[in-house]
Amino acid sequence: MDYHSPPEQDTNPDYVYQENKRDYKHSGPGIASFVIALLTLVCYAITFVYVGSQASSLMNEHNKLIADAAETIMYLGLSVLILVAVNVIGAVTGIIGLTLRKRRKVFAVIGTIINAGFLLLFMLLLSVILVNAGAS
């Protein structure tokens, strides 16, 4: 039986091991942020399609709001507020995914951008509504 000793390690200080970026896993919070962004996008679309389909019955022939319209308007407001809260959770989760080391950050970047975009649109919509309410 031949016993071979293991080869000696090269102690050349010029060689430095560089990790390959492709070896990293995707960050879990980044994937969660991306999924939340896609889920809220679909929910916004469903909400606005539903409210749009109900909008034809909101006005009577004299362009006055019918009393039953309050339910549809409340549904729209409540669903948008819930979705904005979910977008805040998605943005925070995306930021957490961006701070993890040795993880891919593609999904975290995309999820953070989409969630932050929805939040900015909501703030813009809210500010426009408040400015118009103050002007009248």
- For residue range 61-90, list pLDDT tens digits in order: 566 666 667 777 888 889 999 999 999 999
Residue 79 sits in which domain range? Answer: 26-57+67-126
Any domain includes 71:
yes
Any domain includes 3:
no
Any domain includes 82:
yes
Any domain includes 1:
no
pLDDT in tens, 108-120: 999 999 999 999 9
Q: Which two tokens stand for residue 20?
A: 């390959």
Any domain includes 112:
yes
Any domain includes 87:
yes
Name the DSSP letter for residue 24: S
At residue 103, the 3 state secondary structure works out as strand
pLDDT at residue 119, as a whole number? 95
Count how many domains the chain has.
1
Any domain includes 2:
no
Q: Which residues contact 25 (CB under 8 A, 6 or more apart)?
A: 103, 104
pLDDT in tens, 27-50: 999 999 999 999 999 999 999 888
Query: What is the C-alpha to C-alpha distance for residues 80 and 24, in angstroms, rounded to an integer?
Result: 36
Any domain includes 131:
no
Query: What is the C-alpha to C-alpha distance for residues 109 and 95, in angstroms, rounded to an integer?
Result: 8
| Single pTM value for the model | 0.74
Say if residue 18's pLDDT is above 70.
no
